[in-house]
Amino acid sequence: MPFLELDALSKHYGPVKAVDDVSLSVEQGEFISLLGPSGCGKTTTLQMIAGFVDATAGRIRLQGRDITHAPANTRGLGIVFQSYALFPHMTVADNVAFGLEMQKVDRAERARRVEQALALVHLDAHAGRYPRELSGGQRQRVALARAIVIRPPLLLLDEPLSNLDAKLREAMQFELRTIQQQVGTTTIMVTHDQAEAFSVSDRVVVMQSGRITQIDTPYEVYEHPASEFISRFVGKTNLLPPATANGPQRHIRPEKLTLKPAGQGRSDATVVDRFFLGSQWLYHLESPLGPMVVVQVNDGSPAHAPGTVVALDWDDATLRTLPEGSR
């Protein structure tokens, strides 16, 4: 029996199918990401699981119990909202204690668990502060502590890191994963950032206009995308002409292409432009195969200047063909 099961879940707003026939099984302890472009129904799906949006059709089962229409305050789930949603008139400690208070946990036990949860997110020193006295990343961590302190069976995170700067974001992703592994809570995270989905999840659920289009491990989603749309959504890709007259389109990722001295590869190409990304160089090239994007590790050797003629090479094993008729 799966831990959480979404069974043909739908939410329609009049003619708008915000979520359409979504089915998903989540195992205990799994970290799942809902990934997709803006407006594809990620938040709506999460809100149905949380109980703030009523499903039009389909069922939600948590540990075998049907919770499709159960009131939100009986589900006992931990939720981290995109806007943090901290209680502005309560201190950090009171924010975190609120859920325990609702569970009628006695005072001493409450204090102990609040302290423990705040230590887990490295905020023990800020227990007496008000949310307005905290930075964005600290508020984020209070929200997380408030959600996990009630020991929910399921943690729902709606773009929890979207308001953070790149550095803090990476640190928080790491922290999120560590905390999730320490506590072992089954987690569903909504994001539209593929790097974030890849770095923290066990499996990625790709959504597109209300429907699930692929469920796989991050590696599989990147290496074997189910459609050209997904391929382009999770990374850059180059189209190669079919090998035979009626053969399928072939794709190759920019980092799988190598640049060699002119004449020594499979096809010559001219550097149109180059971009320095720190650890990598990104090249735009023009070749008889069409325009190409290539990513090369910055190994310290000088980069190819625009106008230089180089040769493209690749390993045939890294070529991908996409399922017929996919878009």
Partner 1 sequence: MPRNGSFAILFNTLVVMFMLAPLVIVCLVAFTPENTLSLPGWNWSLRWFRKVFEHPDFVTSFINSLWLATVSASIAVGLAVPASLAITRGNFPGRQALEGLFLSPLVIPHLVLGVALLQMFARIGATGSFVWLSLAHVVVITPYAMRLLIAAMTGYDRSVEHAALSLGASRLTVFRRITLPMILPGVSGGWLLCFINSFDEVTMSIFITAPSTITLPVKMYMYATESIDPMMAAVSALVVGLTAATALLLDRIYGLDRVLVGQR
Task: Give the binding-site size for partner 1 (rule: CB under 8 A).
Answer: 27
Verify binding: residue 188, partner 1, rule CB under 8 A. no
Q: Is 70 helix (H, G, I), strand (E, B) or coil?
A: coil
Structure token digits, residue 103: 């569970």
Which residue in 72, 111, 195, 289 binds partner 1 (CB under 8 A)? 72
45 binds Mg ion (CB under 5 A): no
SS3 of residue 287 by DSSP: strand
Residue 30: strand, helix, or coil: coil
- Nearer to partner 1 by C-beta: 57 or 85? 85
Burial class (CB in 10 A: 0-12, 13-18, 19+), 41: buried
Give the Cα separation of 159 and 169 in Å (integer).
11
Summarize as ranges the residues that interact with ligand ATP (CB under 6 A): 13, 16, 18, 36, 38-44, 192
Q: Which stretch binds partner 1 (CB under 8 A): 71-79, 112-120, 168-176, 187-195?
A: 71-79
**Nearest-approach distance from CB 18 to ligand ATP, in angstroms:** 3
Taking the complex as a whole, how short is the minimal distance between the CB of residue 218 and partner 1, in angstroms? Answer: 28
Task: State which H helix or E strand residue 169 sits in.
Answer: helix 166-183
Q: How far is the CB of 243 from partner 1 (least distance, A)?
A: 52
Tell which residue, 148, 153, 151, 216, has the closest CA to residue 176.
148
Q: Which is nearer to partner 1, 48 or 294 (CB)?
A: 48
Nearer to ligand ATP, 44 or 68 (CB): 44
**Which tokens belong to 17?**
């199918």
Read off the amino acid at residue 164: L
Query: Interacting stretch for partner 1, rule CB under 8 A, among 13-21, 73-81, 273-281, 296-304?
Result: 73-81
Near partner 1 by CB under 8 A: residue from 7, 12, 28, 98: 98
Query: Which residue do the tokens 């459609």 mark?
Result: 227
205: Cβ contacts below 8 Å, ≥ 6 apart: 24, 32, 33, 34, 35, 212, 214, 215
- Compute the distance between CA of residue 325 and CA of residue 306 in angstroms, rounded to an integer: 37
**Contact residue for partner 1 among 9, 32, 79, 179 (CB under 8 A):** 79
Element (DSSP H or E) covering residue 176: helix 166-183
Cα distance between residue 6 and residue 119, in whole Å: 34
Dihedral in degrees, nearest 10, Cα atoms 146, 147, 153, 158: 180
43 is an interface residue for Mg ion by CB under 5 A:
yes
Task: Report d(CA 55, CA 49) in Å as an integer.
Answer: 9
- Would you give the binding string for partner 1 spanning residues 38-57, x where CB under 8 A is met? ------------xxx-----
Q: Which is nearer to ligand ATP, 47 or 138 (CB)?
A: 47
Quick one: which of 69, 89, 107, 122 contacts partner 1 (CB under 8 A)? 89
Q: Smaller CB distance to Mg ion: residue 58 or 160?
A: 160
Radius of gyration, CA atoms only, the chain: 24
One of 1, 14, 15, 73 touching partner 1 (CB under 8 A): 73
44 binds, options Mg ion, partner 1, ligand ATP, none, Cβ within 5 to 8 A by partner type: ligand ATP
- Within 128-167, which residues bind partner 1 (CB under 8 A)? 130, 132, 146, 150
The binding site for partner 1 (CB under 8 A) comprises 50-52, 72-79, 81-83, 85-89, 98-99, 102-103, 130, 132, 146, 150
The binding site for Mg ion (CB under 5 A) comprises 43
